[in-house]
Chains A and B, each alone.
Chain A
Amino acid sequence: MSLQSYVRPRGLDDALAALADPRTRPLIIAGGTDVIPAMRKMRLGEPQAAGDDDDRPGVVVDLSQLDELRGIGEKDGMLLIGAATTMGAIARHELVKDRAPALAAAAASVGSPLVRNRATVGGNLATASPSADTAPALLAANAVLGLASARQGRREVSITDFFVGYRRTLLQPGEIVAYILLPLSRGLVRGRFEKVGLRNADAISMVCVAVEMELDGRVCREARIGLGAVAAVPVRAFAVEAALKDREIDEAVARECAKLVHEHISPIDDLRASARYRSWVAEAVVARMIIDMACKARS
């Protein structure tokens, strides 16, 4: 028997203690929407194959019911979101919808209502799928992630440093994402998220894009653009952002700047789309979002 136990820690310190010893092969579970389908492939009930190191999880540590990791609030002018907060709660929350609309839209686009009832934002980030939908929104928002472990204590890292390779993050063994901090959008900053999938419901992104722009009339003071499903990790389109800075936006400018997105993406062919199609869609969606945000829906 590989999986020996399940623990539902009572507090954060308890949780970190349960994760501290690598010999117990701990596995974090939050909503379980990624973990359980993955566990099915691990054949947990079967004996270890002779001569094999058993790297299957030994203990499941459930973070989903830890109050310290759940909830949405304001702290020092920042929006604070617990890592175990569900996508449904994020998508519905007035403060998020008002101040971080790209994140609200990204959370609302995940799976189905049933998936959103369980899926957490921390799990979405820790899975580090290239197509994790909240990642581009948090990149565009310049979010800070609060991490915690028994060994290293607390630290805060920028979301831009978090994804280090295909499905790899800078989380150390025993370390968890505890919370997410977003600068609360001020004044003229607008945010938007768009996802292109193969169908309307329950679709994994073929391309997803989040844009935050600070606009002064049609002049872009600052832009941040996050993209998903177009590289091994979710990426920022820094070149596009730099090209937009202090430019008066019209359709031609937006299309010209959007071309620079190719400096940051390296899509692959897979069952959902070809690399060429993804490149084309990424550029087109970035251009369209910039045009819509700067030139349309002006109040």
Chain B
Amino acid sequence: MLTSCTNAIVLTVNGDDHMLVVEPNDLLINVLRNDLGLTGAKYGCGTGQCGACTVLIDGQPTLSCITLAVACDGKKVTTIEGITGPDGGLHPIQEEFLNENAVQCGFCTPGMILMAGDLLQRNPHPTEDEIRHHIKGNICRCTGYNGIVRAIQNAAQRMAAGEKPLEALGTTVREVVKR
């Protein structure tokens, strides 16, 4: 009965629709990085413990290293490449990460920024404690947490003062055939 070895799926990634053929055990992180060339999400531990692979699935932060690509069929995936500011440049959160020198090697940064966006969308005025709790699953090996927290605090202020939060991107159709 169940004989198919591959699965055709459609992923909407940063607004573009991609038709992909994946193996049932392909992980989302590998499909994003290897098949779509989106290397923003990083492969850290591969076991859900570091947050380097964070992406948004239907707006929800998700660990792409422990997510099957087939399970995302029909869903909207947003990676750090899909995060931009109102004019297409940097988003206020990204600018504040630069201003506060909250980036050293940058491995944790995509996950940190996506988590910051998720937090500020639901809680525009987080306390320092709430910020630290929200990035509990995102490890920065360069111990940049203080700068990261300050960057999120600054971004919160700017966004509360009227700059826009992360929002859904427009959809265009593009086909990518794998293998």
Q: Does B177 contact A (CB under 8 A)?
A: no
Q: Which of B2, B46, B49 contacts A7 (CB 8 A)?
A: B2
Q: Does A198 contact B (CB under 8 A)?
A: no
Q: Does B115 contact A (CB under 8 A)?
A: yes
Q: How far is the CA of A58 from the CA of B25 in the complex (A)?
A: 11
Q: Does B70 contact A (CB under 8 A)?
A: yes
Q: Which residues of B contact A64 (CB under 8 A)?
A: 71
* A201/B137 in contact, CB under 8 A: yes
Q: Does B33 contact A (CB under 8 A)?
A: no
Q: A22-64 interface mask toward B, CB cutoff 8 Å, 1 = contact, 0 = none? A: 0010000100110011011000110000000000001110101
Number of B residues whose C-beta is below 8 Å from A?
A: 33
Among A39, A59, A111, A113, find the residue whose CB has the most chain B CB atoms closer than 10 A.
A113
Q: Which residues of A contact B25 (CB under 8 A)?
A: 3, 39, 44-45, 60
Q: Does B51 contact A (CB under 8 A)?
A: yes
Q: Which residues of A contact B65 (CB under 8 A)?
A: 36
Q: Which residues of A contact B2 (CB under 8 A)?
A: 4-5, 7, 18, 24, 58-59
Using known A-B contacts A112-B51, A114-B48, determine if residue A200 contacts B136 with beta carbons closer than 8 Å: yes
Interface size class, chain A = 35 or more
Q: Which residues of B contact A37 (CB under 8 A)?
A: 46-48, 66
Q: Which of B49, B51, B68, B138 contacts A36 (CB 8 A)?
A: B68
Q: Which residues of B contact A65 (CB under 8 A)?
A: 71
For window 98-119 of B, CB contacts with A under 8 Å fall at 115
* A5/B71 in contact, CB under 8 A: no
* B66/A36 in contact, CB under 8 A: yes
For window 98-130 of A, CB contacts with B under 8 Å fall at 111-115, 117-118
Q: Does B127 contact A (CB under 8 A)?
A: no
Q: Which residues of B contact A39 (CB under 8 A)?
A: 25
Q: Does A297 contact B (CB under 8 A)?
A: no
Q: How far is the CB of B118 from chain A (nearest CB, A)?
A: 8
For window 105-150 of B, CB contacts with A under 8 Å fall at 115, 133-134, 136-138
Q: Does A1 contact B (CB under 8 A)?
A: yes
Q: Does A97 contact B (CB under 8 A)?
A: no
Q: Which of B47, B61, B71 contacts A114 (CB 8 A)?
A: B61
Using known A-B contacts A45-B25, A59-B2, A114-B137, determine if residue A6 contacts B62 with beta carbons closer than 8 Å: no
Using known A-B contacts A37-B48, A113-B137, A114-B48, determine if residue A5 contacts B68 with beta carbons closer than 8 Å: no
Q: B1-15 interface mask toward A, CB cutoff 8 Å, 1 = contact, 0 = none? A: 111110100000000
Q: Which residues of B contact A1 (CB under 8 A)?
A: 5
Q: How far is the CB of B87 from chain A (nearest CB, A)?
A: 30
Q: What would 4 more interface pairs be, CB under 8 Å, given A45-B25, A64-B71?
A: A18-B2, A40-B47, A114-B48, A114-B63
Give 17 A-B contacts (CB < 8 Å), ordered by A residue: A3-B24, A4-B5, A5-B2, A5-B7, A6-B7, A6-B68, A8-B73, A24-B1, A24-B2, A32-B67, A36-B68, A45-B23, A60-B25, A113-B137, A114-B62, A114-B138, A115-B63
**Shortest beta-carbon contacts, A-B, top 3:** A112-B137, A201-B136, A6-B24
